[in-house]
Amino acid sequence: MWRKKRGNYIKNARPGIITGAADNDPAGISSYSIAGSQFGYSLNWLMILAIPMLIAVQGMVARIGDITKAGLSEVLEIHFGKYISYIIIVFLIACNTATIGADMLATASAINTLITPFYKEYQIWTVLIFVLIVYILIFKNYKKIANYIMIGSLAFLGYVITAIITKPELLPLIKGTFVPNLGMFIKNREFALVATGILGTTISPYLLFWQEKEEVEERRPLFFARKERMYISIGFIFSQLVTLFIMTAAGATLFVKHINILNSQFPAVTTASVLKPIAGAFASQLFSIGIISSGLIAIPILASSSAYAITDLTKRKGLLSSNFRNAKLFYYIIILSLLSGIIFAIFKVNTIKALFYSQVLDGIITPIIVILILIVANKKSYMGKFVNNIFDNTFTILSIAVMVLAAIFMFI
């Protein structure tokens, strides 16, 4: 009986765990590594604050998915018109495409560093990543894909071990994690920029579109909407703890040694390389494995979220549980989205600019999308008894306020 209950709990928590794992993609790891290398532990508290914000925002989206059985682009079109939906989708596709390309190259570079350290042409790995992901998404159903992602997310425990190996100073770490450094937002424009970047990659538009459609893939019964917050919380607590360990590892090594990775091609991979002489080869290898796992988890979710958004807006069929014949447009969009990685490799795009500033753009766009979702989630005529409660509204409004303020300070 206990095993059955445990199995049911894990199954019910699966959407939150998967979305939380996708939140720590190579773009995110790079942004978190930059934050740790530039400011040590000073931004750790922002990731603690992000936990209830993520639970509120993603739980709100999940409930809408449970109730409507529709995609987020459909919901936005119903309530705010097709033009607003089109504008949001254009920005979503632009951010997703840039992030997919950068993530594929970062994953390829991490594979190259781990397996063939003397082989310079890492771009060839993007082809292998492309073929592998296309095969899985087209020939495997949603449940198998979800199980693969769940297993892959275990590799993130390597970041926990890596952070412990780096031996961070305890008092500065505790202070940076639990005491907000609000003065830095006003005094330091770069601090505000990095804060906006990590918030943009933490509460990101593609996660919103993925989360809602994931609930449709799961075929949840209506009453399950009451339990979404409880089951989603475990995934995002795990996700943000992983983020803290990434930032801590970077702070304990790169920040202490005054190593700037902001202008490196792949900040996450550079962090892994720098860890080798400072914390040992094992720490470096664990960090690289984490990057590879995060890429193989996040890239298909990024591509799928773009496909969900477009097919829902055009009223075409599109689910990962659909076969290729019945959802050709959906899978063609996925394939085209994934091709951006190979295009990035061919033209040798500066991935750090595409990666980091796409996250900053996410930090600016996300509050707008969240405001629209908040309005929908509070409509009793639409949501019935599943409207937002005080927790949802408080932390969703806080997430909007924090992201807007960070963006304002960045531009000031």
Dig out the tokens for 74 from the structure: 């459909």
375 inside domain: yes
CA 378, chain centre distance (Å): 25
Q: What is the pLDDT of residue 330?
A: 92
- CB neighbours (10 Å) of residue 78? 14
Residue among 208, 173, 194 at smallest CA distance from 48: 173
Ramachandran bin of 229, using left for φ above 0, alpha for ψ from -120 to 50, beta for the remaining angles: alpha
pLDDT at res. 359: 66
Query: Sign of dihedral through CA atoms 377, 381, 386, 387?
Result: positive
Residue 2, domain member (yes or no) = no
Q: Which of 21-35, 160-174, 211-225, 250-264 has the highest mean pLDDT?
A: 160-174
What mean pLDDT do residues 206-214 have? Answer: 89
Side chain identity, residue 395? F
Say if 3 falls within a structural domain. no
Contacts of 37 (CB under 8 A, 6+ apart): 250, 251, 254, 255, 259, 260, 261, 262, 267, 271
Q: How wide is the angle at C-alpha 131 spanned by C-alphas 128 and 133, nearest 5°?
A: 105
Residue 117 CB-density burial (10 A; 0-12 exposed, 13-18 middle, 19+ buried): exposed
Amino acid identity, position 15 = P
**CATH code of the domain in which 282 resides:** 1.20.1740.10
C-alpha 93/C-alpha 144 separation (Å) is 26
Mean of pLDDT over the chain: 85
Rounded to two decimals, the pTM is 0.90
- Residues 103-138: pLDDT tens digits? 888 898 888 888 765 456 777 888 899 999 999 999
Q: Considering the domain boundaries, does residue 121 fall inside one?
A: yes
Cβ-contact 297, 210 below 8 angstroms: no
Would you say 231 and 12 are in contact if contact means Cβ atoms under 8 Å apart? Answer: yes
Q: Is residue 91 part of a domain?
A: yes
Indicate whether 5 belongs to any domain: no
Give the model confidence (pLDDT) of 70-108 as tens digits: 888 889 999 998 889 999 998 899 888 888 988 888 898
391 in Cβ contact with 229 (< 8 Å): yes
- Would residue 382 count as lying in a domain? yes
Tell whether the model's pLDDT for residue 270 goes beyond 70.
yes
Q: Is the pLDDT of residue 180 over 60?
A: yes
Domain hosting 221: range is 10-411
Question: What whole-number distance in Å separates Cα of residue 155 and Cα of residue 135?
Answer: 22
* 3-state secondary structure (DSSP) of residue 69: coil
Question: pLDDT tens-digit profile of 341-388?
Answer: 788 777 777 776 676 667 667 777 888 999 999 999 999 988 888 899
Residue at 1 is within a domain: no
Q: How many domains does the chain have?
A: 1
Reduced to 3 DSSP states, what percent helix, strand and coil does the chain have, rounded to the nearest 5? 85, 0, 15
DSSP class per residue in 187-252: H-HHHHHHHHHHHHHHS-HHHHHHHHHHHHHHT--GGGGGGHHHHHHHHHHHHHHHHHHHHHHHII
